[in-house]
């Protein structure tokens, strides 16, 4: 075997050679070779063995890497041998010596003197710095589980004749383990004292004043409360049934009463941050209930961000077709994710409305043809859907937190799932075919059936068009449509200057109409049509003339005064507020995207504060988290840079861009990651090469959407609610948290969209070069 062949073998089997070095040090080289390389040819085994022996032999050659070292170079002796090394060289010497069991060998000398090895070390260190710079701590959307440490701060006091002269003392912490009491001065009691306290009659805990024995464990000054805190544990004589009742009382009331101070701060922080993510999320939640073997949509939650990011009406219309929705639910149960295409296609017989999931189109082998036709017509929407289950415990929490009687809201109690939806049409509007495809006749399963679900919606008060109190009502009304003709209608709800009418579907209405409601003494009043949904016949109206507003308003007020009890229950503002808070509470626990909260800071990377991620999320792929640390370098870090930098983040914070597609290919042979520029992935010939590699099964595609949304203000609809309990126990911390809310600037959402982009690539769909792309190529 020639020297060149030996060198090739040594290069190829370098990892094996390094793995065998510790075995040689322990005189177990043959055992190691047999363990790692049973199938290797004897000639290769021989070369590997000799190389290991050579590298582990001792040497006294002085090492000097000053030819390629970074300044400064140090002179020192190591094992009595002269060295001239820089900081990196000295680190290599230390690491390699430890590999060779603290001996100075040929292998150590060659590693120190090897320029390539030195450069790899620098690159590795630089990469580690970049990774560390983009690491962010994570939180879960699931409620913090305090376990046995949960303790509340109840609103009653307890007293003992032997403690503080029988004064009633406030409880700063109460759990099934013990009770802590607050006093202005150090109490006249010693550790180990057993005192009898009286617990008053408390609903859910005691039916009458009850005596319990407590043992004093410690007395400390609590600087946060500005008082002395005496911690007691329950004496062995305390009845087990009382402890069990107390444990249940703490669990039940923990959502209505403040927790012990530190726990309440932790809970408030999580609630405020989750609310901010929901308020500024592009995802529109639609709440579903069981329907036979499937699910049906009930109600959607509109926020400032999801109404801005999506055409809400168009998005909901892509979901309301009953047969298609059943197919969508089936797909979501299997994959937790789906993409719905909805729009009009021009055919010989005219415009045809179609709705289909992308997997349906794949099965029919019509994805490329239908996408091409939808893009050509321009009237379409592609909705990204993700499904999350809602358990009974979540619903009980939502009712308890907002003090809502579940019997009054039976429809809300039926909710079993949340369907999160987002318009992702932007990724399709510029697509065209890169190869011929078959245009088959349209399948009946894709055409709209005409049988639709009704999807209600609820929104925060800032978005609501009518800020007045509204009342649910059912009264006959008529709309004047001609000189002698009128249209029958029914009043669905009413306020002082607006109303909702139900008219026959597809009725023709003017922009301004005259309405009469005989039972309310409203005759021929002029209303403006604010919104008209023709297919359901729902008309929302606003009173036109200011002079008559007082008259109509007084009629409504009089009617309400005469039937106060009836209308109090039917006040839409009250019902809407309760509904809004309840479904909000369900939504914040199940957000579908990995979400990054950003704050104000001079340095770009220090603006990444916290990452919220659901336990089942795969949005980090192809990267993975380590315990509670989330690595974000793969999505944000500038590639081929020695220092941590991010053009994507800088663009998003300066608001020159708010969206990016981050693409990686994972090579299956060695799991190596290859980053691909968004422009190259969408427009260049590289896309056809990726298709070929996907067809051959050599790579896996990872395409991740990164969307940044500027926070819509310092407060969310529930900020006051979240801080209410904290304000009762620590006003200073309440003020601090309230002030902190103005520090949040952006929410960034990271969403894995690999399923859609993979199938678009494989089906020969490519983005048309935009004008600036063409100009760039011409200049090149």
Q: How far is CA 587 from the centre of its chain?
A: 10
Q: What is the DSSP string of 707-726?
A: EEEE---S--TTHHHHHHHH
What does the pLDDT look like over 604-662, one tens digit per residue? 999 999 999 988 889 999 998 888 899 999 999 998 788 899 999 999 999 999 999 99
**Both structure tokens of 581:** 């808070």
Superfamily for the 151-253 domain: predicted glycosyltransferase like domains (2.40.10.220)
**How many Cα atoms occupy the beta-carbon half-sphere of 780 within 13 Å?**
6
**pLDDT recorded at residue 545:** 65
Does CATH number 3.50.50.60 belong to domain 471-570? no
Asked whether the whole model's pTM tops 0.95, one would answer no
**pLDDT recorded at residue 560:** 60
Judge whether 341 and 368 are in contact, CB under 8 Å: no
What does the pLDDT look like over 248-269, one tens digit per residue? 999 999 998 999 999 999 999 9
CA distances from 427 to 308, 366, 656, 703, 704 (A): 18, 18, 19, 12, 12
Q: For residue 775, is pLDDT > 80?
A: no
Q: Which long-range contacts (CB under 8 A, 24 or more apart) does 62-65 make?
A: 63/89, 63/93, 63/109, 63/112, 63/113, 64/113, 65/89, 65/112, 65/113, 65/118
Q: pLDDT band for 557, please (50, 70, 90 cuts).
A: low
Averaged pLDDT for residues 577-590: 92
By three-state DSSP, how is residue 27 classified?
coil
What is d(CA 768, CA 145) in angstroms, rounded to the nearest whole number?
A: 50
What is d(CA 559, CA 544) in angstroms, rounded to the nearest whole number?
A: 21
What does the pLDDT look like over 181-230, one tens digit per residue? 999 999 988 899 999 999 999 999 999 999 999 999 999 999 888 899 99
Beta strands in 503-566 (DSSP E): 512-517, 522-533, 538-543
**pLDDT recorded at residue 127:** 85
What is d(CA 262, CA 176) in angstroms, rounded to the nearest whole number?
A: 17
Q: Regarding predicted confidence, which is higher, 566 or 654?
A: 654
Averaged pLDDT for residues 17-42: 85
Averaged pLDDT for residues 587-604: 95
**pLDDT recorded at residue 772:** 44
**pLDDT recorded at residue 465:** 53
Could you tell me which of 320, 315, 318 has the C-alpha nearest to residue 302? 315
Domain with CATH 2.40.10.220 in the chain: 151-253, 471-570
When computed from its CA atoms, the radius of gyration of the chain, rounded to whole angstroms, is 35
Average pLDDT value over all residues in the chain:
88
**pLDDT recorded at residue 161:** 93
Whole-number percent of the chain with pLDDT over 90: 56
**Both structure tokens of 53:** 């022996």
Lowest mean pLDDT among 63-72, 436-445, 565-574, 675-684: 565-574
Judge whether 513 and 480 are in contact, CB under 8 Å: yes
Beta strands in 460-593 (DSSP E): 471-480, 486-495, 498-502, 512-517, 522-533, 538-543
Judge whether 579 and 412 are in contact, CB under 8 Å: yes
**pLDDT recorded at residue 206:** 92
What is d(CA 490, CA 517) in angstroms, rounded to the nearest whole number?
A: 9
**pLDDT recorded at residue 616:** 84
């Amino acid at each position: 075997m020639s020297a060149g062949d030996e060198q090739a073998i040594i290069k190829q089997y370098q990892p094996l050679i390094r793995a065998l070095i510790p075995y040689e040090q322990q005189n177990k080289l043959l055992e190691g070779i047999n363990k790692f390389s049973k199938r290797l040819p004897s000639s290769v085994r021989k070369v590997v063995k000799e190389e290991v022996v050579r590298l582990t032999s001792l040497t006294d050659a002085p090492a000097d890497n000053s030819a390629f070292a970074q300044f400064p170079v140090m002179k020192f002796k190591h094992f009595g041998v002269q060295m001239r090394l820089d900081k990196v060289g000295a680190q290599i010497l230390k690491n390699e010596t430890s590999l060779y069991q603290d001996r100075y060998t040929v292998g150590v000398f060659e590693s120190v003197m090897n320029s390539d090895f030195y450069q790899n070390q620098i690159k590795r260190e630089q990469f580690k710095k970049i990774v560390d710079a983009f690491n962010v701590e994570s939180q879960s959307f699931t409620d913090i589980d305090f376990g046995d440490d949960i303790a509340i701060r109840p609103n009653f006091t307890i007293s003992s004749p032997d403690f503080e002269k029988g004064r009633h003392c406030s409880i700063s912490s109460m759990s099934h383990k013990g009770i802590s009491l607050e006093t202005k001065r150090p109490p006249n009691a010693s550790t180990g004292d057993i005192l009898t306290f009286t617990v008053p009659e408390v609903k859910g805990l005691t039916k009458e004043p009850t005596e319990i024995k407590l043992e004093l464990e410690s007395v400390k000054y609590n600087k946060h409360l500005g008082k002395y805190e005496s911690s007691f544990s329950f004496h062995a004589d305390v009845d087990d049934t009382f402890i069990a009742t107390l444990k249940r009382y703490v669990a039940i009331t923990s959502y209505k009463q403040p927790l012990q101070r530190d726990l309440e701060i932790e809970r408030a922080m999580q609630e405020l941050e989750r609310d901010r993510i929901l308020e500024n999320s592009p995802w529109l939640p639609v709440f579903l209930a069981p329907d036979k073997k499937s699910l049906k949509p009930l109600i959607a939650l509109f926020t400032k961000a999801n109404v801005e990011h999506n055409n809400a009406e168009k998005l909901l219309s892509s979901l309301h077709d009953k047969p298609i929705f059943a197919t969508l639910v089936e797909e979501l149960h299997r994959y937790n994710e789906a993409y719905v295409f909805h729009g009009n296609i021009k055919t010989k017989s005219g415009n045809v409305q179609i709705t289909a999931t992308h997997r349906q189109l794949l099965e029919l082998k019509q994805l490329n043809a239908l996408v091409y036709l939808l893009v050509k017509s321009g009237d379409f929407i592609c909705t990204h859907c993700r499904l999350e289950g809602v358990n009974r415990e979540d619903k009980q929490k939502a009712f308890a937190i907002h003090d809502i009687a579940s019997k009054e809201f039976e429809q809300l109690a039926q909710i079993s799932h949340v369907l999160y939806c987002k318009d992702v049409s932007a990724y399709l509007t510029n697509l065209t075919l890169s190869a011929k495809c078959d245009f088959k006749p349209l399948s009946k399963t894709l055409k709209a059936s005409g049988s639709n679900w009704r999807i209600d919606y609820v929104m925060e008060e800032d978005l609501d068009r009518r800020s007045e109190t509204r009342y649910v009502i059912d009264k006959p009304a008529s709309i004047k449509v001609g000189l002698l003709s009128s249209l029958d209608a029914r009043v669905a709800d009413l306020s002082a200057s607006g109303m909702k009418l139900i008219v026959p579907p597809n009725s023709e209405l003017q922009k301004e109409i005259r309405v009469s409601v005989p039972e309310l003494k409203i005759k021929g009043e002029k209303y403006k049509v604010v919104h008209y949904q023709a297919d359901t016949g729902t008309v929302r109206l606003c009173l036109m003339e200011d002079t008559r507003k007082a008259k109509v308003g007084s009629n409504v007020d009089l009617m309400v005064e005469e039937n106060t009890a009836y209308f109090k229950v039917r006040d839409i503002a009250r019902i809407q507020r309760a509904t809004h808070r309840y479904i909000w509470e369900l939504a914040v626990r199940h957000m579908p995207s990995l979400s990054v909260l950003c704050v104000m800071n001079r340095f770009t990377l220090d603006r990444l504060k916290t990452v919220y991620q659901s336990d089942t999320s795969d949005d980090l792929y192809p990267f993975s988290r380590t315990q509670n640390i989330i690595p974000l370098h793969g999505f944000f870090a500038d590639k081929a840079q020695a220092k941590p930098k991010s053009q994507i983040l800088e663009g998003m914070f300066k608001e020159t861009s708010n969206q990016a597609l981050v693409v990686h290919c994972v090579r299956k042979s060695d799991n190596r990651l290859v980053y691909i520029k968004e422009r190259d992935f969408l427009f260049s010939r590289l896309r056809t090469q990726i298709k070929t590699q996907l067809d051959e099964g050599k790579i896996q595609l990872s395409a991740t959407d990164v969307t940044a949304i500027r926070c819509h203000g310092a407060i969310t609809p529930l900020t006051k609610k979240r801080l209410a309990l904290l304000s009762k126990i620590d006003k200073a911390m309440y003020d601090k948290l309230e002030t902190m809310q103005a520090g949040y600037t952006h929410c960034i959402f990271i969403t894995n969209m690999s399923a859609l982009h993979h199938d678009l690539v494989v089906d020969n769909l490519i983005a048309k070069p935009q004008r600036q792309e063409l100009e760039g190529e011409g200049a090149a």
